[in-house]
Amino acid sequence: QVQLVESGGGLVQAGGSLRLSCAASGGTFNIYTMGWFRQAPGKEREFVAGISRSGGSTYYADSLKGRFTISRDNAKNAVYLQMNSLKPEDTAVYYCAARSSGVAIVTDTLRYDYWGQGTQVTVSS
């Protein structure tokens, strides 16, 4: 069992940047594939980015590649999402998630075992 807590969300103008953090506790962090997801009002939760257990592999939603960067620091039990060139359509609640089954990075929300409470990101025009 692992607990996840996101932080770093807030209000930012279009074109600005935010860095989200996810702190993990209660588990062996380096056995989890980690992912970031987001959910806007009235829409389904969608995949943003994923990172392998060691941090050696990353994967991004096509529409976000080049603007967002996922990273992890296993010594600190943390995963990060650097978001640059933010757009109003990036406004959503962002969630950190952990997956313990399998080694591949996956994009399906159902394949992740643990979730944080979410942090709100609002991008103004």
User: pLDDT tens digit string along 28-84?
Assistant: 899 999 999 999 999 999 999 999 999 999 999 999 989 999 999 999 999 999 999
Measured CA to CA in angstroms, residue 77 lies from 74, 93, 120 at distances of 5, 22, 22
What value does the CA radius of gyration of the chain take, rounded to a whole number of Å? 13
Comparing CA positions, the residue from 58, 32, 16, 21 lying closest to residue 114 is: 32
pLDDT of residue 1: 84
pLDDT of residue 86: 97
